[in-house]
Amino acid sequence: MGNTNSMCECKRFSNYKKPPIGLVRNNSSHDGIKTIEAVKSCSLSRKSDICIRIITWNMNGKVSYEDLAELLGKDRKFDLLVVGLQEAPKTNVAQFLQTASSPTHVLLGKAKLQSIQLYLFGPKNSQTLLKEIKADRHSVGGLGGLIGRKKGAVAIRIDYDDIKMVFITCHLAAHGSKVDQRNEELRHISNSLLSKDKRTRDLTVWLGDLNYRIQDASNRPVRSLIHNHLQSVLVSKDQLLQEAERGEIFEGYSEGTLGFKPTYKYNVGSSNYDTSQKGRIPAWTDRILYKIQDTNNIQAVLHSYDSVDQVNGSDHKPVKADLCLKWIYN
């Protein structure tokens, strides 16, 4: 507070405008995404409630059991566990995840498109609640093979305890200038994985490396704002929220407040932003968004939305959300 350097950097921040109310006010609506403040305490306790832990992580082609165990955590109060991975290596990921989750959960389903992978876990007694599960995928290009940077998405549809859900993890085009391409890729994925499905969905969740960046920003001012815990100033410059506000993408979806630091790009093995020659501008590339089809029948409560900063095995930080659903009986 009152830091002279941070005030100077704020003034230098390119084309800075006061963040629109729709982007920063808790539970405020605007065209596209509704920003939700996480409710820390969980009051949903009926047997019909479903609590879901959702994790997304760009692994940068590397994996360790320790990182995945840290990511899953020891608190296993959730019913379903959804893990979406991008740039995942070819080996050991499924085995490590199953081992890390095995004390409490079992693998219900998985979907893969080379380096884009999605895993769904449920409690050991969950087979009686599982009515249907189906996997699907859609490619939009990118590099596969040894490089492991395939672009596209995979999805898992599930009917669990009479709640119909679909989870989609995706990896979209990189670089700040590719906004229109990312928008188009999202539309292609949605048409392929959602529009052809005529069944009613109670919950739709998108998670992944969406690759949207900070618009019209330069490196030094962005890093200064983050260093001085003023990343909220950057929210109005987030391309994903901007495009949603324009009505281009994610109409009717919700997302938790971006109260954590941008998740890209870090020096591997540390919590320091990129010091290479490229010097990537930090950005919230890794996101989790959700949509309830009929809010008159199902209530959704977001209990956390945060990055997992202690996981250092990639140039991205993982993002984790806890979402609980409850039937509303009129």
DSSP string covering 38-83: ---S----STT-EEEEEEEEE-TT---HHHHHHHH-S----SEEEE
Model confidence pTM above 0.95: no
Domain borders along the chain are 4-327
Q: What is the pLDDT of residues 3-54, one digit of tens each?
A: 433 333 333 333 433 333 222 333 444 467 999 999 976 554 444 489 999 9
> Residue 191 carries which DSSP code?
I
Q: Are 296 and 328 in contact (CB under 8 A)?
A: yes
What pLDDT, on the 0 to 100 scale, is given for residue 276? 94
Unique residue bearing structure tokens 């959702």: 54
Query: Tokens representing 267?
Result: 């020096």
Tell me if residue 90 falls in helix, strand or coil: coil
Return d(Cα 166, Cα 164) in angstroms, integer: 7
Element spanning 184, H or E: helix 179-190
Return the CA Rg of the chain: 19
- Round to whole Å and give the CA distance between 297 and 129: 19
**Cis peptide leading into 291, omega within 30 of 0?**
no
pLDDT at 19: 35
List of residues 6+ apart from 103 with CB closer than 8 A: 76
3-state DSSP assignment of residue 330: coil
In 3D space, the residue among 127, 6, 67, 29 whose CA is nearest the CA of residue 318 turns out to be 67
Q: Tens digit of pLDDT per residue, the chain (330 long)?
A: 334 333 333 333 334 333 332 223 334 444 679 999 999 765 544 444 899 999 999 999 999 999 999 999 888 889 999 999 999 998 899 999 999 999 999 999 999 999 999 999 999 988 889 999 999 999 997 665 544 578 999 999 999 988 999 999 999 999 999 999 999 999 999 999 998 677 789 999 999 999 999 999 899 999 999 999 998 899 999 999 999 999 999 999 999 999 999 999 999 999 999 999 988 999 999 999 999 999 999 999 999 999 999 999 999 999 999 999 998 875
Dihedral sign of CA atoms 169, 56, 38, 243 in order: negative
pLDDT at residue 31 in the model: 64
Query: What pLDDT score was predicted for residue 143?
Result: 63
Kindly tell me the burial class for residue 135, based on how many C-beta atoms sit within 10 Å of its own C-beta (0-12, 13-18, 19 or more).
middle
Return the CATH class of domain 4-327. alpha beta
β-sheet bridge partners, residue 35: 28, 255
Per residue in 208-240, is it b (16+ CB within 10 Å) or e — as a string? Answer: bbbbbbbbebeeebbbbbbebebbebbbbbbbb
Q: Which of 97, 11, 56 is nearest to 260 (CA)?
A: 56
For residue 122, what are the contacts with CB-CB under 8 A and spacing of at least 6? Answer: 79, 80, 81, 105, 106, 108, 129, 130, 160
Sign of the C-alpha dihedral, residues 293, 238, 37, 118?
positive
What's the confidence (pLDDT) of residue 330?
59
The pLDDT value recorded for residue 202 is: 95
